[in-house]
Amino acid sequence: MHIFNFYFNELFNFVSLFKTQHLDMINSVITGSGHYLPNKVVKNDDFFAHDFFDDNGDRIEKPTQEIIQKFEEITEIKERRYVDSDVLNSDMATAAGKMALERAGVDPETLDYVIVAHNFGDIDPVSRQIDIMPSMSAKVKHNLGIKNLKCKPYDMTFGCPGWVESLILAHQFIQAKIAKKILVIGSDTLSRSVDPHDRSAMIFADGAGAVVLEAKESEEKCGILNHATLSYNGDEMNFLVNAPSLNKDYVGSNKNIQMKGRKVYEFVLKNVPPAIKEMLDETELTITDIQKILLHQANAKMDHAMIERLFKLYGMRDVPAEVDPMTVQFLGNSSVATVPTMFDMINEKQLGNHAFCASDKIIMASVGASMNINAIIYQFEK
């Protein structure tokens, strides 16, 4: 009888241990966030002195004020932020990253990775020369004073969806158990990479956003629930490119952002809503399970249309006002910084009445050059 009890107890302990090991799962959880906004506010009126050219290289004869008014009607952008001449992209990235680390209470020396998403690295304010050696992530690690040799710097160049893709990569590192703490930053100085004679220059802006993603064991799933990435690299490669100025007499950089706006608009409306729905379906969720959609923002009209089409895929005509926070009207399109900046502003209750609550499920999604589409479903802890 004693022998029976002994083996019964051993079996019970083994089963209990097995259950504990398999009930606890590793979640990828955001433990801190931060952002950096340049001090310089550039309003639409500041473009009155610009001469704009069309895609054929001809000067647009419409009054500049009329061009700007039409631009504002479509995009809703009224102002944006530009970095000061003595600030580099890596400086902004460092500031946002430092803030996220402090709010997370994480010692930088314990980081396994510093991942920085960007498009052009550091851009010299005078020569417009691009500098990505050393890499942006290496510069940020250096600026943060991290001595840990095992903390790996990693650059992500993936167009505007770069920060979302960086967060997906960080999640995969954590799930593979090769990392526990990762700093994920998105930072760009697009004001130094635009053609001043292209109307689309008014869209772009500067900024940086960051989060700390950590591994947390729990019996309940939270943090990143699912993610999806689609890369269209056929003719779509030509929708957003670097090109010479539309003004052949422009003396400046010969590598400027050039966008085929109509092509991008059509591509986005056709492909982004079903991509998000497919991800939700895979997670066995529906749009009514989502409290907020943090969407990359370049054009308010396009963003509104994307959200409306997504809801229509579920047979819904009305979009709740609180589900679709917007920053493009006063921050413009800061590319990889847009989504993390918006996340931090809401997280710190700095964006109107928007707030995150315990157990909320949100979507963070982006679309941009190449063309790439990606999205994440994130659930806050209880």
Rounded to the nearest angstrom, the gap between the alpha carbon of residue 357 and the centroid of all alpha carbons in its chain is 21
Domains of the chain, first to last: 26-218 (3.40.47.10), 223-379 (3.40.47.10)
Q: Using CA atoms of 89, 94, 100, 105 in order, give the dihedral in degrees to the nearest 10.
A: 180
For 283, counting Cβ atoms within 10 Å of its Cβ (0-12 exposed, 13-18 middle, 19+ buried), the class is middle
Distance of alpha carbon 183 from alpha carbon 24, whole angstroms? 24
pLDDT of 171 strictly over 70: yes
**Strand-pair partners of 109:** none
The pair of three-digit structure tokens given for residue 317, joined into one six-digit string: 């005509």
How does residue 119 score in pLDDT terms, banded at 50, 70 and 90? very high
| Stretch 58-75: mean pLDDT | 93
The pair of three-digit structure tokens given for residue 157, joined into one six-digit string: 């160049």
pLDDT, tens digit (0-9, with 9 covering 90-100), for 180-211: 999 999 999 999 999 999 999 999 999 999 99
Q: What is the predicted pLDDT for the residue at 22?
A: 44
Task: Count CB neighbours of 305 within 10 A.
Answer: 16
Distance of alpha carbon 14 from alpha carbon 8, whole angstroms? 10
Task: Count CB neighbours of 132 within 10 A.
Answer: 17
pLDDT, tens digit (0-9, with 9 covering 90-100), for 350-361: 999 999 999 999
Name every residue whose Cβ is closer than 8 Å to that of residue 143 and which is 6 or more positions away in sequence.
90, 91, 94
Name every residue whose Cβ is closer than 8 Å to that of residue 276 and which is 6 or more positions away in sequence.
228, 310, 363, 365, 375
pLDDT of 7 strictly over 60: no
Distance of alpha carbon 282 from alpha carbon 73, whole angstroms? 37
pLDDT of 332 strictly over 50: yes
CA distances from 120 to 88, 160, 186, 190 (A): 11, 11, 12, 8
Residue 53 sits at the vertex; the CA angle it makes with 50 and 55, to the nearest 5 degrees, is: 150
Q: What is the predicted pLDDT for the residue at 15?
A: 43
pLDDT, tens digit (0-9, with 9 covering 90-100), for 16-45: 444 444 457 999 999 999 999 999 999 999
Q: What is the predicted pLDDT for the residue at 18?
A: 42
Cis peptide before 134 (omega within 30 of 0): yes
For 4, counting Cβ atoms within 10 Å of its Cβ (0-12 exposed, 13-18 middle, 19+ buried), the class is exposed
The pair of three-digit structure tokens given for residue 353, joined into one six-digit string: 């009445």
The number of C-alpha atoms within 13 Å of 247 and in the hemisphere containing its C-beta is: 17
Distance of alpha carbon 125 from alpha carbon 190, whole angstroms? 11
Percent of the chain clearing pLDDT 70 (strictly above): 94
Query: What secondary structure letter does DSSP report for 103?
Result: H
Q: Where are the beta strands (DSSP E) in the chain?
A: 25-36, 40-43, 79-82, 113-117, 122-123, 130-131, 152-156, 181-189, 206-218, 223-231, 240-243, 256-259, 292-295, 361-368, 372-379
The number of C-alpha atoms within 13 Å of 310 and in the hemisphere containing its C-beta is: 29
Q: What is the predicted pLDDT for the residue at 126?
A: 86
pLDDT of 331 strictly over 60: yes
How does residue 13 score in pLDDT terms, banded at 50, 70 and 90? low
Q: What is the predicted pLDDT for the residue at 127?
A: 85
| Stretch 128-136: mean pLDDT | 92
Name every residue whose Cβ is closer than 8 Å to that of residue 98 and which is 6 or more positions away in sequence.
34, 144
* Better-scored residue on pLDDT, 18 or 118: 118
pLDDT, tens digit (0-9, with 9 covering 90-100), for 261-292: 899 999 999 999 999 999 999 999 999 999 99
C-alpha distance across the termini of the chain, in Å: 46
pLDDT of 153 strictly over 70: yes
